[in-house]
Amino acid sequence: MTSSSSAIHKLEDYKPTPWLTPSVDLRFDLDLHLTVVRAEYEVVLSANQREPLFLNGESLDFLSIRIDGTILDPNEYQVSPVGILIPNPPKDKFKLSVENRINPAGNTSLEGLYKSGSMLCTQNEPEGFRKIVYSIDRPDNMMRFRVTISGDGTLFPIMLSNGNPISENTFADGKKEVVWEDPYLKPSYLFALVAGELVETKDFFLTMSGREVTLKIFVEKGNEEKVSFAFDSLKKAMKWDEDTFGLEYDLDLFMIVAVEDFNMGAMENKGLNLFNAKLVLADKKSATDESFEAILAVIAHEYFHNWTGNRVTLRNWFNLTLKEGLTVFRDQWFTEDMTDPAVKRIKDVLFLKEFQFPEDQGPMSHPILPKSYKEMNNFYTVTVYEKGAEVIRLVSELIGRENFKKGLKHYLSKYDGQGVTFEEFISSMEEVASHSIPNLRNWYHRSGTPLISVKETYSQDSNEWVFDLADTGSSEYPLVFSNSLAVFNREGSLLKEERRIMTGDRDQIRLPALDETGTKPIVSFFRSLSSPVRLEYKQSEEEIQILAKMETDGVSKFFAFQNLVFDWFRKSLASGKEENFSVILDTISDSFGKGWDKTYHSFYLSFPGLTQISESVGCYEFQKLSDLRLKAIQKITTTFTPQFQTLFEENRKTIPIQTKEEIGKRRLKNTALFYLLHDPSKKFERLAMMEQREAKHMSEEVSALKYLLEVDSKEKENSVNLFFEKWQKDSLVLDVWFAAQVASGENRTQVAEELENHPQFNIRNPNKVRSLYFSLARNPLSFHKEDGSGYDFIADRIKRLNEINPQMAAALTKLFSPVSKQKGELPKLAKKQLESIASLPNLSKELGEIVVTILNSL
């Protein structure tokens, strides 16, 4: 462990870097256990006065330091576990050479230079570069990179870095040496290096100006047949960015490498994107429809960063949302255009509500522009990413999408090659809209999901209904909202649509009554979630049902139906008995035979999961919720068995290709199967086994497996074994197999204990850790079990991960956030576990920050 400086970084303390290194010549002498790295920087003073020069460096074995070729005297610098300090640099401009050793094979943190499978690779965002070589490792220091990689040509036949290949030589002794140069300035976090035994696959893209760009995807041997979907996705993304924003790729080569051991999804290193293998590799046999969609979205996301993030980058890490919120918004828009906008929006809003809303109401709550952090790795959050994207979407609502396109182009040309803050982005948007947007910036400073209350009153004098909206939250940061609303009559006919901008904390909407007797119109607010808010509006069951059937906005229609379901839970919990369910059945009945898009219909029919229900109704008695949920599902099943059988049969023969039609059929068929499996007679379980055996697409196999496990079928062991026999050689598919066995139901902690001894489980591989430990910790029935066994198990694994991979340890600990809301002894039991984590002798900076934050809420 490195000695961790636990300093807090505060936004208000931000100062530009006093020294810059505008260019660097890097040299790597590769070896799995002992790699020598040398950097030669051009150093220039950028402050008015000469200040001490500090180079970051962690877990490095220092070798030498020179200025203008002369070795420094030991009293001219100080080496510490966090870097090198040169108190009195001799001049304003000089050449600085540093040299150090690292051990890539011993680096399990997956940050810096590390070994994964048959390759060495890097991960430097946000502060991994300092684990490779001493450097001014901050995004406001931009460099031109020249990189020489040298090593054993048989161990490392492929050697990659950013930009353009300049030369390649193999020497008589088997040594190989390649040189790469990146013509674009970039901060250290965008640097990448990959070396190893990889298979190269190739394609090309013709840009709008007629340049041919070579596209390459590098994979480990055996995976070369699984790249065609990734190539197609990349070409679609490149074309879309040209068509939508006029943005063209700026190098002649674009490379992607699929990496097995990777902490997150993917990384946008200039010209050399690194990907978690599960977000590149896919074929119809081994990938689900969801994983195809994830690949499309993430390939696009990383590609889009080339402009939003790389060409225009960040001044400091507080502004992470400037590139992430914006790029998520861009990839969401892309997927809306490539698939179905309503379905995509439903997925994004569901994700926001299930993960970001709780984060924002819990101990980890922070504004999208965090004001302070100890460890930046902990702030790659759903708030920075997904709420950040919602704020950008809000900007596009406020100024219109055409202005937004102009504004983005304006922003990118005005700040090309610079590191900026959200202010430069917002002011660019205001410039093209030719007006300022009051309160918009406060979205960057206020944490928590705004709660908008709606009070309705009837005014007899004018025969009007008056709707008073109020932002009930903090007035320290008044906001601006886009409220897209629609008015319906009691038959559900659309009377009026309007987009209102609410600046500040209230708005009043007056609508004429529907007739002389003062009948109230039905209003749908914040359609498609036009602002990231929670709504507190008590509408009658009748009104909600009309919206669930008749809303012309598919997204709001979907969420109206969900509200009917959540209201039933609320009422049933309050009365302690199952309340009348007929409105829900009637609404479902109405949805059959309407000819809806199949994917849309399958979403509409999908019954909300336990976590979603508990968050929506604010109840954390999971066993109670689970019992109610089961009864509700069974009611739906028994009422509509023939309809589900028909849906199943009609959509049975699907062709294993990624078209809208076939994806829709698979989804709808699987949804039908889910309900059929809840038939108390259990007579459909054989159907699921047959489905699994005869499946032509992974979505079919996985659904059968998951549902049989979820209903705790007698067939579940057969299903688990069948799946394993077939897929034991495919590590990515086994991730799904591990996850499915612990993701639902009680007492899955014991199952996880057995599975972690499985020869294919590996705690060093983040995908396996996510499949097993994260899935278990997201299964409320097992994790929040009253005896505390879920907490004990996960806390113990967090302690192990602290030694191996602190980022994963910290991320897993975040799943303890909701413990303060649990009943009985649970908060106390969790506290005990968290305290024992906090007292670990080698507590990492990552884990320390999270565990203390959660403990403070207990």
| 302 assigned to active site | yes
Q: Measured on CA atoms in the order 273, 276, 279, 281, is the torsion positive or negative?
A: positive
Which residue number, 99 or 302, has a Cβ lying nearer to ligand TRP?
302
Q: Which of 73, 61, 128, 137 is nearest to 100 (CA)?
A: 61
CB of 13 to ligand TRP, least distance (A): 23
Quickly count: other Cβ atoms within 10 Å of residue 4's Cβ.
18
Question: Strand 506-512 vs strand 464-471: parallel, antiparallel, or unpaired?
Answer: antiparallel
The DSSP secondary-structure symbol of 135 reads B
CB of 128 to ligand TRP, least distance (A): 8
Per partner kind, with CB cut-offs from 5 to 8 A, the member of ligand TRP, Zn ion, none near residue 25 is: none
Query: Which tokens belong to 417?
Result: 């090659």
Which residue number, 99 or 324, has a Cβ lying nearer to ligand TRP?
324
Which residue number, 266 or 740, has a Cβ lying nearer to ligand TRP?
266
Name residue 301's amino acid. H
Per partner kind, with CB cut-offs from 5 to 8 A, the member of ligand TRP, Zn ion, none near residue 380 is: ligand TRP
SS3 per-residue string spanning 283-323: CCCCCCHHHHHHHHHHHHHHHHCCCECCCEEECCHHHHHHH
Residues of span 696-715 touching ligand TRP by CB under 6 A? none
# of chain residues touching Zn ion (CB under 5 A): 2
DSSP class per residue in 447-500: -S--EEEEEEEEETTTTEEEEEEEE-S-TTS--EEEEEEEEE-TT--EEEEEEE
Place of tokens 């970039």: 186
Q: Name the residue with the smallest CB distance to ligand TRP.
A: 264
Which residue number, 265 or 788, has a Cβ lying nearer to ligand TRP?
265
Per-residue binder mask for Zn ion (CB under 5 A), 354-383, x = binder:
------------------------------
Quickly count: other Cβ atoms within 10 Å of residue 95's Cβ.
14
CB of 137 to ligand TRP, least distance (A): 14
Q: Give dist(CA 798, CA 837) in Å, integer.
A: 8
Edge-to-edge strands, sheet with 164-170: 70-71, 61-67, 93-102, 35-45, 19-29, 143-152, 175-186, 164-170
Residues near 733 by beta carbon (within 8 Å), at least 6 away in sequence = 286, 698, 727
Query: Which tokens belong to 31?
Result: 């070896």
Tell me the β-bridge partners of 120.
Answer: 115, 195
Residues of span 310-349 touching Zn ion by CB under 5 A? 324, 327
| 538 and 563 Cβ atoms separated by less than 8 Å | no
Helix or strand (DSSP H, E) at 419: strand 419-420
Per partner kind, with CB cut-offs from 5 to 8 A, the member of ligand TRP, Zn ion, none near residue 257 is: none
CB of 623 to Zn ion, least distance (A): 38
Which residue number, 189 or 675, has a Cβ lying nearer to ligand TRP?
189
**Is residue 379 involved in binding ligand TRP (CB under 6 A)?**
no
# of chain residues touching ligand TRP (CB under 6 A): 13
**Is residue 331 involved in binding ligand TRP (CB under 6 A)?**
no
CB of 380 to Zn ion, least distance (A): 9
Per partner kind, with CB cut-offs from 5 to 8 A, the member of ligand TRP, Zn ion, none near residue 375 is: none
Residues of span 565-594 touching ligand TRP by CB under 6 A? none
Q: Measured on CA atoms in the order 250, 256, 261, 263, is the torsion positive or negative?
A: positive
Edge-to-edge strands, sheet with 534-536: 506-512, 464-471, 451-459, 534-536
Residues of span 260-319 touching ligand TRP by CB under 6 A? 262-264, 266-268, 301-302, 305
**Is residue 125 involved in binding ligand TRP (CB under 6 A)?**
yes
**Is residue 123 involved in binding ligand TRP (CB under 6 A)?**
yes
Q: Give dist(CA 527, CA 557) in Å, integer.
A: 9
Q: Which of 99, 177, 302, 324 is catalytic?
A: 302
Question: Strand 372-373 vs strand 522-524: parallel, antiparallel, or unpaired?
Answer: unpaired
Which residue number, 261 or 324, has a Cβ lying nearer to Zn ion?
324
CB of 313 to ligand TRP, least distance (A): 11
Question: Strand 83-86 vs strand 78-80: parallel, antiparallel, or unpaired?
Answer: antiparallel
Per partner kind, with CB cut-offs from 5 to 8 A, the member of ligand TRP, Zn ion, none near residue 267 is: ligand TRP
Per-residue binder mask for ligand TRP (CB under 6 A), 228-267, x = binder:
----------------------------------xxx-xx
Query: Which tokens belong to 290?
Result: 């969801």
Per partner kind, with CB cut-offs from 5 to 8 A, the member of Zn ion, ligand TRP, none near residue 849 is: none
Which residue number, 125 or 140, has a Cβ lying nearer to ligand TRP?
125
**Secondary structure of residue 194 in the 3-state scheme:** strand
* Sole binder of ligand TRP in the list 54, 307, 380, 620 (CB under 6 A): 380
Residues of span 47-76 touching ligand TRP by CB under 6 A? none
Which residue number, 110 or 437, has a Cβ lying nearer to ligand TRP?
110
Half-sphere exposure of 355 (CA within 13 A, CB side): 16
Which residue number, 600 or 774, has a Cβ lying nearer to ligand TRP?
774
CB of 264 to ligand TRP, least distance (A): 3
Per partner kind, with CB cut-offs from 5 to 8 A, the member of Zn ion, ligand TRP, none near residue 706 is: none
Per partner kind, with CB cut-offs from 5 to 8 A, the member of ligand TRP, Zn ion, none near residue 264 is: ligand TRP
**Binding residues for ligand TRP, per CB under 6 A?**
123, 125, 262-264, 266-268, 301-302, 305, 324, 380
Binding site for Zn ion (CB under 5 A): 324, 327
Catalytic residues: 302
